[in-house]
Amino acid sequence: MPVARPEPQEPRVIAHVDMDCFYVQVEQRRNPALRGQPTAVVQYNDWKGGGLIAVSYEARAFGVKRSMRGDEAKSVCPGINLVQVPVARGKADLNLYRSAGSEVVTILASKGKCERASIDEVYLDLTDAAKEMLLQAPPNSPDEIFMEAAKSNILGLPSDASEKEKNVRAWLCRVDAEYEDKLLACGAIIVAQLRGRVLEETQFTCSAGIAHNKMLAKLVSGMHKPAQQTVVPSSSVQDFLASLPVKKMKQLGGKLGSSLKDDLGVETIGDLLSFTEDKLQEQYGVNTGTWLWKIARGISGEEVEDRLLPKSHGCGKTFPGPKALKNSTSVKGWLDQLCEELSERIQSDLNQNKRIAQTLTLHARASKENERDSVKKFPSKSCPLRYGIGKIQDDAMKLFESGLHEFLESQSTGWSITSLSVTASKIFDIPSGTSSILRYIKGPSSAASLDLPASSSVPEDPSLDNQLNVTPIHGEQCEPSTSEKVDGKRYSANEGKKISKKLPEVKASHPRFLIL
Ligand code: DCP
Ligand code: CA
Ligand code: CA
């Protein structure tokens, strides 16, 4: 549920950085012959040439899109290079892309608080760095970094192309500017510098949004791509939001966004301005109402978290069309593979970063025989996570069986599964000097594992769900899920799910580690 956070008194400088056609760039670095060529990365799949998951800008110019399959991409762009995602255990192995993302994060984290938001995105809080720059060397230097910053797109400046750079340069070093605009100008220079370092050290280009809050920075980071940055001065916010379709905001992509449109006739974020806070609260509850009132004005107090590592780990696979799984044996076979990868990833997170995941969740997509159009969704299930491949596999299968039982509503009918994923979440840092937890998890002989009380249903994570829709799946999730409760109903990108308690008790055999 979106909740408005109190906004800080002082103006902040926040950037959202997103890599350009990321997997393609990683592949182009591996094979420089692909540079400057129409290229796409395809998901492991032999059906119609595989699903595209990343498309180079050269290929986009031919009309190639991520929704296409390899065969279709070839028909619109015969010269396209299709690169297969690396495969392990019969599914995409994203480790290469994950570690490339980490290289970038390390560079971007050098100038302020940095939050890894997805495999190829971060938020940065550059407020302190911008203040420092303003005190020491206000922006006016004609050096390389300044030249790059002068290529920024600044919302609200006259869009006369021939004069653009001159106008931007003037904006960046205006002496009579408001303090908050001066800070933003420093932010634009710092981001230009960081993007330059990323290019130099990793060979990757990225795009960025620079604004006074996360929401605005994120909304504009993809506005001018590739390899460009966009700045949102406060004076431009109202016009920008006036024409911004509600669905462009992540939290409004689902039912809440549809309700705004259907029930209030709101098409753009700016349209929300015609409603009082009371009216919005009456319609959507106190929290969501206030949040909507604030976003209409470009206000968002959400902080950049200090987190360079992902919030959760997920492994999934889709089984489209004839590949659908139709019996427990094949589900078990695939779940075992997914759990093996998940186990390796959480184990290496534990070894390298001293982090422990507490919750195991199973998501699936299913349909019943002869009921292809049924709206009933396979309920997502979770339970406390026990370390060890075998335990994770057993628990995941129990979660699956419990979800299937509920999904089938006691009917004995055929079913098919078109996607499966397991996620490890609620990850926390082991306090330094705590060795007992490690012994707990690793020691095979001692009371080494965790108990497993009854599982519970959880709302699916829409960010994962979106990915499942299109076959490719990021292996890690960094953003919070975006479901909202509106008037007592749960609104989210995935409708129709609810919290249910009716689940078989899974035998508990070991003490919990959390009491440590
Ligand atoms: N990805 C995926 N499945 C999806 C979406 C993305 O596997 N449905 C992967 C491939 C992308 C990477 O994640 O390269 C980052 O996704 P983005 O949405 O940021 O898209 P790109 O970086 O490819 O392109 P852009 O330049 O538009 O950001
Ligand atoms: Ca990207
Ligand atoms: Ca992205």
| Nearest-angstrom CA–CA distance, 218 and 229 | 11
What is the tally of structural domains in the chain?
A: 3
> Strand pairing partners for 16?
123, 209
Return the higher-pLDDT residue of 168 and 471: 168
Beta strands in 106-258 (DSSP E): 113-118, 121-125, 153-154, 206-211, 229-231
Q: Are residues 191 and 116 in the same domain?
A: yes
Question: Whole-angstrom Cα distance, residue 137 to residue 113?
Answer: 22
In a domain, 305, yes or no: no
Q: Is the pLDDT confidence value at 484 over 50?
A: no
Whether 121 is a known active-site residue: answer: yes
Q: Model confidence at 67, in pLDDT bands (50, 70, 90)? A: confident
Domain boundary among 384, 413, 430: 430
End-to-end CA distance of the chain: 31
Taking the C-alpha atoms of residue 117 and residue 476, their distance in angstroms, rounded to an integer, is 10
Whether residues 133 and 115 fall in one domain:
yes
pLDDT digits (tens, 9 = 90+) for 274-318: 999 999 999 999 999 999 999 999 999 999 999 999 999 999 998
Q: How far is the CA of 111 from the centre of ligand 3 (A)?
A: 21
Instruction: Please tell me whether residues 34 and 154 are part of one structural domain.
Output: no
User: Measuring from atom 12 of ligand 1, which residue has the nearest CA?
Assistant: 22
| Last-in-domain residue among 382, 413, 430 | 430
Give the Cα separation of 243 and 233 in Å (integer).
16
**ω before 86 within 30° of 0 (cis)?**
no
As given in the structure block, the two tokens for residue 417 are: 């599964």
Atom 8 in ligand 1: residue holding the nearest Cα = 467
Q: Which helix (H) or strand (E) element contains residue 241?
A: helix 234-242
Is 7 a member of any domain? no
- CA dihedral in degrees (88, 204, 139, 158; nearest 10)? -100
Classify residue 469: in a domain, yes or no.
no
CA of 119 to the centre of ligand 3 (A): 7
* Residue found by looking up tokens 């504009």 in the block: 220
Residue closest via CA to ligand 1's atom 26 equals 20
User: Which of 162-176, 335-349, 486-500 has the largest mean confidence?
Assistant: 335-349
**Residue 181, pLDDT score:** 96
Q: What's the domain range around 40?
A: 22-86
Could you tell me which residue, 286 or 471, shows the higher pLDDT? 286
Residues 115 and 73 in one domain: no
CA 97 to CA 476: how far, in whole Å?
Answer: 11
User: Distance from CA of residue 10 to its chain's centroid?
Assistant: 28
Q: How far is the CA of 22 from the centre of ligand 1 (A)?
A: 6
What is the mean pLDDT of the segment spanning 37-54? 87
The one-letter amino acid at 257: G
Tell me: do 179 and 50 sit in the same domain.
Answer: no
Residue 411 lies in a domain: yes
Of residues 472 and 283, more confidently modeled = 283
Residue 72 has pLDDT above 60, yes or no: yes
Same-domain pairing of 39 and 113:
no
What is the distance between the alpha carbons of residues 380 and 276, in angstroms, rounded to a whole number? 37
Identify which ligand lies nearest to the alpha carbon of 21. Answer: 1
More confident residue, 404 or 488: 404
pLDDT of residue 159: 74
Residue 162: which CATH number? Answer: 3.30.70.270
The verdict on 81 and 120 lying in the same domain is: no
Query: Which residues, other chains included, contact 342 with Cβ-Cβ below 8 Å and sequence gap of 6+?
Result: 313, 314, 315, 392, 422, 423, 424
| Residue showing tokens 């989210």 | 492
What is the Å distance from ligand 3's center to 17 Cα? 9
Q: Which of 86, 108, 124 is the last residue of a domain?
A: 86
Residue ranges around ligand 1 (CB below 6 Å) = 18-23, 53-54, 119-120, 225-226, 467, 470, 472, 474
Burial class (CB in 10 A: 0-12, 13-18, 19+), 322: exposed
What CATH number is associated with residue 376? Answer: 3.30.1490.100
- Residue 498: count other Cβ atoms within 10 Å of its Cβ: 9
Q: Are residues 183 and 118 in the same domain?
A: yes
CA-to-CA separations, 191 to 303, 428, 493, in angstroms, rounded? 18, 30, 32
Q: Which of 58, 121, 148, 479 is catalytic?
A: 121
Indicate which CATH number applies to the domain containing 62.
3.40.1170.60
125-139, 211-225, 374-388, 440-454 — which is least confidently predicted? Answer: 440-454
